[in-house]
Amino acid sequence: MATRKTPIGRRRPGSAPAPAGRRPGLPARRCGLCGKTRKLTRTECCHQWICDDEDSYVLFSYARNSCSRNHRRFTLCGSHFAEEHAGDWRECARCRNAFETEMYVYYGTNEYNFAKLENPPSFEPTRCKKCHAVIRLPDGGYTMTRGSYVCGRCSPVPW
């Protein structure tokens, strides 16, 4: 049985109407991180649709509730743009050398990326200089003293 094409602007029977303000047949603008469709902007670095929500961030809260801020601050893409490096961030030697390998891998593969490093380098876990417990650098909770990491339990600084 041959299928009939529906003229542009007309719906097929049983299909939902296009949302107001959008022409039928065009994809909806969505935040590439959370999927929301309202109050969007494009990232400066990679021109992807993202929530325009930096105004919701509470200063010094360390909250991760802003898609825009998270992409700008916690990705190699955002860092590459902010540091004005040339070319693609996935092939940038300056970006690779700017971070410890563990942080480079985190910034290149976390959930705040639109595109992720395909083959991130391997690395040895970071360990506390005193008790040798594994410290996960992206999570914080450590002190760096004299070029070594000390976990929160061994830190001389009261938390």
> With 60 as the cut, is the pLDDT of residue 46 above it?
yes
Residue 6 has a pLDDT of 40
pLDDT tops 60 at residue 20: no
- The model's confidence at residue 61, banded by pLDDT at 50, 70 and 90, is confident
What does the pLDDT read at residue 27? 60
d(CA 78, CA 103): 14
Q: Which is higher by pLDDT, 67 or 3?
A: 67
The residue type of 1 is M
Average the pLDDT over each of 62-66, 136-140, 155-159 and give the range with the smallest value.
155-159
Query: Would you state the torsion angle of the CA atoms of residues 55, 61, 66, 67, taken in this order, to the nearest 10 degrees?
Result: 140
Rounded CA separation 158/41 (Å): 41
pTM of the model: 0.77
Specify the pLDDT at position 134: 97
Residue-range domain boundaries for the chain: 125-159
Average pLDDT, the chain: 85
pLDDT tens digits, one per residue of 87-125: 999 999 999 999 999 999 999 999 999 999 999 999 999
Q: Is the pLDDT of residue 15 over 70?
A: no
Mean pLDDT calculated for residue range 80-88: 97
pLDDT of residue 18: 45
What is the band of 75 on the pLDDT scale with cuts at 50, 70, 90? very high
CA atoms within 13 A on the CB side of 106: 14
Between 123 and 13, where is the model more confident?
Answer: 123
Q: What is the pLDDT of residue 137?
A: 95
